[in-house]
Each structure stands twice: as structure tokens, then as C-alpha cells.
Structure 1
Amino acid sequence: MRKAPALLLSAGLLMATLTGCAPTSAADACVPTAPDGAASKLIDVSGSFGSAPTVEFPTPVKAQETERTVVIPGDDDGPVLTAAQSIRMSLAMFDGATGDPIPGATYGEPAVYSTAQLNPEITKALECVTPGSRIAMTVPQGNQAAILVADIFDVFLAKANGADRPVLQSGLPSVVTAADGTPGLTIPKSDPPKDLAVAVLKAGDGDTVSETSQMVVHYTGALWKERTIFDSSWQNGSPATFSPDGIIPGLATALTGQKVGSQVLVVIPPELGYGDQDNATIPANSTLVFVVDILGTLP
């Protein structure tokens, strides 16, 4: 991924809260905070979705607040960006004072961005978008405005949304999920399973994860013996992206064949984890516990 311009990212990776939308599957029920205003309507955008746009506007463009105009509507039945989650998009940025492209921010291959990491004003302009949308934005920058045009290819789930499933195997950790999707873990004081244990807590009906899939996930990782969390994308503030061939064997086995929208509980014995080697805060011979929400896959 190319290095993102400073405007694009939120200082300190502040969590961006999308306040204008209630969770919904219908795009027309979502009301964005950023208005379709006079400044954003000055941006003339031509070209087809998925290709570099031709962007023209009278200079200088001034904006006292973030505005956005939908140039190409997306899929009304597609997932709606309503929370701190991830999207896959291509975008171009221009100097509102001169009309010149901003170096390093020309339209390119789509990349995955977490709304928790984006500049909050850009996140505001992206509220309620669905896949297939092209959005023109004006974002205040001092007395002028930055101009952005974004094509939205994918909007990933904020949390697992599959049907609840009972856990049939006894002796596994219990999981209670908060309203925002964050899981809470209670690990038994008994000995862990000797073999890999996998329980689907929520069964999704989306795309199937293959051995070569790139996944967008939320996860919590814990140590069975210590009953402590060693890593959590929820605590880190944004989903993670990885593939089965880039993670420990037990987790790869557990997630391959699962569907997007699923929440999966995995207990991994040491030989399918990090074995007899220490790994950062994970002691040697540790049994690991993961709760993974599969939010989407990349093409």
C-alpha cells in the first residue's frame, strides 16, 4: 500500500465515530452527517467507476465544513458504512486552491482503510456509502478545501452478523459479545483440550474463506493458562487483514472453510501455535484462545 498523505489519516489514529447512522441494511435509511453542499457540488467528476476520474472545479474552493456529493450511487442492497469498520477504496486528492493533484494521492489500485484510522472529516463524508459508490468530498484545510473523489469497492462488516449457534463441546471458554461486537472471554480453570478445538458461535452466510483468501477480521487472542488477553484488534481500534498462509497453523485450519459473517472460537494447542518458543508476550508451550469475527474477504 502506498504511503497515505497526512490529510487522509487521523492524528494519533483516533477512533472516528459515525454519529449520523443507525445500523441498517438499507442505504436509504442511513442519514449522513456531511451535507450535499454548495462546495461539493462545484466538483465536476466524469469517467466510469473503477477508473481514474477526470475532476474539474473552479478555484479556489473554500469550505467551512465537510461536504459530500454522491456522483455515482452504489448498491442499495449492499452493506452500509455505519460504524468504525473497514472499506476498500481508490481515491484521488486535489488542492482546492490550485486544482493540482496532491502528490502521493493520485488514483490507484484499491486499498483497505479502517475508518478508525482515517481523518475523521473524511470518515464523516463516507458515512452511509455502499459498494459501487463514487463520492466527491470537500474537506476544510485552513481557509481552503481539499478535494477528494473516492470509489468504494467494498464495505466490510463491523462485526460478525451470523446466526447464533450453540457450543456443543464441553470445557471450552465462554464468550459474551458486547453490543459493538467486542467479545468478552471466560476461560475455565480446568486443563485445556489437547487437540485443536473449533466452535462456530455465529454462522455467517457470506463468502467462504479459502487457503489463499485475504481476510478482514476482528480478533481477540488470549492465553489459556494465564487467562489474559495478549492481543486484540478491538483494543487496537481497527480490523486486521491477513491470510491463512500467514498465521499460525491452528488458526489457519480453524478459519479455512468458514464463511464471512461468522464468529469462531478457537483453542490452539502449543504444537499448532508457537510451540516451545517464546513469541513476544506469549510464553513457550502456551495454549492459545482466539475469538475471530470474519468481516470480509478481498478479491
Structure 2
Amino acid sequence: MRKLPALLITAGLLTVGLTACAPSAGPGCESPVPSGESSSIVKVSGDEGTAPTVSFPTPLKTDHTERTVVRAGEGLGTVPGQQVVLDWSVYNGTSGDLIEKSTYDGSSALSLPLTEGTLMAGLQQGLLCSTEGSRITLVVPPKEAFGEAGNPNLGVAPDDSIVFVVDVNRAFLPKANGTPQAAVDGLPSVVLDANGVPGVTIPSAAAPTDLEVAVLKKGDGATVKEGDQLIVHYTGVLWDTKTVFDSSWSRGAPAQLTAAAGSPTVQNGVITGFADALIGQQVGSQIIAVIPPDLAYGEQGNGSVPPNATLVFVVDILGIV
């Protein structure tokens, strides 16, 4: 898998937002982007897992982003910040020229979070409430795509719309969905807000000197093995100062990491205590880990982590890549 092509996510084209409300993920999930004549007129054929054959009349214009579901998937609709894996074909709506196309064999699928300010506004909003296995068409006007500048590198003029045909191959969990477990005495307490973001309260007692791990929600997904690439949400808190030093939740997107201690040969590896806490857990679980300095950043510390700091992590295990 690969990340979104840089030419399609440059900061200059992300300043335009849509005004629709974010959808819920429930059975009544309703896309903030309506279907319309422009998206409906894009003709798409081809089997699931294969490159589509796409045709539409040119020039294809719209005043607002439109979306049509070509093939419905299964499960709950996607929500803001959720990590998804996509294949797509992207066209200039004026000329009909192909801009970008996946290989549809897994080697060029896109892994990205549906985060406002990361994707062009029309694409981000158009992908919300999509289900895993679905194929959708999007027609995005200039003001919700590249803006007044267009994108000369891609052959997109200021008044060109963009046509997307997107396959939603996979949607990772937006938050841990496991069964709540009984709290463990002596460990920090955790309270979740409506979106699943944890708030952590550290006890007044001295920090444990050994690694302590407890399951807050017990998932029923695949078991994490050493070396697995994971999608997770996490919050990290310093035991002594009781302050948050890092949080994927605050960035609005989950993190991808390796369930293995970091080294020159382990890409996206983590501190030893974090890896040890993850290995053996199940997808859908939320865990809390109290990590002593010798299994964290030790005497040297790291950035906002001071020397000899005990760390507390609350982690949602959202999927294995």
C-alpha cells in the first residue's frame, strides 16, 4: 500500500471546506454529499477487485461535490478520521483525461485517514459514510478540489472539475469496539468521550517499576503478533506530571506502527514496553500500559519526554495491515 500522492494533498488545495455536518456511523448513516446528475452520469463497469471501465460526457461540471454509489458494500459507514484503503481512477472532468490510476492488484492501493485538512475537501467529504467493499463516483468542482490555481503539474486548469471512481477496499475500526473489562486497582483510570477519545487520571501513588498492562476493552479480532503492522489510536501521558505528551487523537488520524521494538532494521518500530504491551492483544481491544523508563526512553528521554520518565499509554488496536 502507499500513501496519497503528494500532488493531490498539497496544502494549497486544502483550504476550502464543505459545510455539511459529519455523519454518524450508525445504520442511518447519510453521506454529507448528495448524488446528482453529474455523478450519476459517470458510467462505470467492471468486477470487484479489477480496474473499472469509466466513461462520461465532457466537459462534466458541477457546482458542488456529487457522489453516486455504484456498488454498495457492507458494514457501517466511514466517519471522519477513520483509516481506509482505496483503489481509484482519477480523471479531468473537462477533458476526460486520466490523471491517476491504481494498479488494482494491491501494490498501489492508498492507505489514508479521512481527515479534514489532509485531503481535498470534496474527496474527504465524499468518502464519508462509505462502506467497505463499495465503489463510488465523485465529481468535485474546482472550489472543493484544487481551487483557483488549478494544478498545472497534473494538467488541471482552474475551471476543471475532478472525477473520482473509488473502491473502498478496507475500512479499519474508527475506535476500539471490544467488551468493557473490569478496572485494575492501582492503574490509572480512563474515561472516554463520545468519540472514544480517552481522558486519563493518574493515581497519586508512586509509579510501578515493572511493565503493567491491562485490557480495558476486550476485542475479538485477530491476535497481534510480533512484527505486525498495526493501525492504532493512542494517548501518551507522563506519570509524574500527569500531562499528555503525545496523542494520535489530537492529530485527528490513527497511526501506523510495527509491533516490535524499534531498531535500524525495524521500520516504524516502537519502544520496547509499547511493543510488549501490544503483542498478544486482539484487534478491537483497548489497552492501558504503564511503561517504566528502562522499557521506554531511559535516562536520555526523548523530545517532550524527560529523562527517567514513566509513561502511560491508552491504545485502541484498530486493525492489522
- For the 8 Å contact 1:79–1:156, the answer to whether it is kept is no
Structure 2 runs not aligned, ≥5 long:
143-157, 261-268
Distance 2:227 2:220 in 1: 19
Deviations 1:168-209 (A, max 9, x none): 3x2211111111111111112221111110011111112222
Aligned partner (choices 198, 213, 216) of residue 213 of structure 2:
198
Q: Matches of residues 141-160 of structure 1 in structure 2 within 5 Å?
A: 141=142, 143-160=159-176
C-alpha RMSD of matched pairs (Å): 2.2
Q: Percent identity?
A: 44
Matching residue of 1:281: 304
Deviation at 1:239, TM superposition (A): 0.8
Distance 1:208 1:120 in 2: 36
C-alpha change, 1:83 and 1:210, in structure 2 (3 Å) is same
- For the 8 Å contact 1:44–1:57, the answer to whether it is kept is yes
Distance 1:12 1:149 in 2: 20
Distance 1:23 1:71 in 2: 20
Deviations 1:140-190 (A, max 9, x none): 11544200011111112221121111123x221111111111111111222
Q: Matches of residues 206-285 of structure 1 in structure 2 within 5 Å?
A: 206-245=221-260, 246-285=269-308
- For the 8 Å contact 1:270–1:285, the answer to whether it is kept is yes
SS at match of 1:123: helix
SS at match of 1:39: helix
Distance 2:217 2:20 in 1: 25
Deviation at 1:17, TM superposition (A): 8.9
- For the 8 Å contact 1:159–1:295, the answer to whether it is kept is yes
Q: Matches of residues 1-299 of structure 1 in structure 2 within 5 Å?
A: 1=2, 4-8=5-9, 19=21, 21-24=23-26, 26=27, 29-75=28-74, 78-102=75-99, 105-108=100-103, 109-116=108-115, 117-141=118-142, 143-168=159-184, 170-245=185-260, 246-298=269-321
Could you tell me the TM-score, scaled by structure 2's length?
A: 0.84
SS at match of 1:234: helix
Distance 2:271 2:200 in 1: 21
SS at match of 1:227: coil
- For the 8 Å contact 2:230–2:258, the answer to whether it is kept is yes
How many pairs were matched up? 290
Amino acid at match of 2:318: L
Distance 2:19 2:287 in 1: 26
Deviations 1:211-270 (A, max 9, x none): 122111110011111211110011112111111121111111111121121111000011
Amino acid at match of 1:106: K
Deviation at 1:42, TM superposition (A): 1.8
Distance 1:184 1:47 in 2: 47
Deviation at 1:9, TM superposition (A): 6.2
Distance 2:316 2:17 in 1: 19
Amino acid at match of 1:30: C
Distance 2:19 2:214 in 1: 32
- For the 8 Å contact 1:91–1:150, the answer to whether it is kept is yes
Deviations 1:20-66 (A, max 9, x none): 63332x4xx22212222110122122222222222221111001111
Distance 2:244 2:33 in 1: 38
Deviation at 1:132, TM superposition (A): 0.9
Deviation at 1:296, TM superposition (A): 1.6
SS at match of 2:304: coil
Deviation at 1:292, TM superposition (A): 0.5
Distance 1:196 1:8 in 2: 40
Structure 1 runs not aligned, ≥5 long:
none
Deviation at 1:8, TM superposition (A): 4.7
Could you tell me the TM-score, scaled by structure 1's length?
A: 0.90
- For the 8 Å contact 2:287–2:315, the answer to whether it is kept is yes
SS at match of 1:59: coil
SS at match of 2:244: strand
Amino acid at match of 2:122: E
Distance 2:17 2:244 in 1: 21
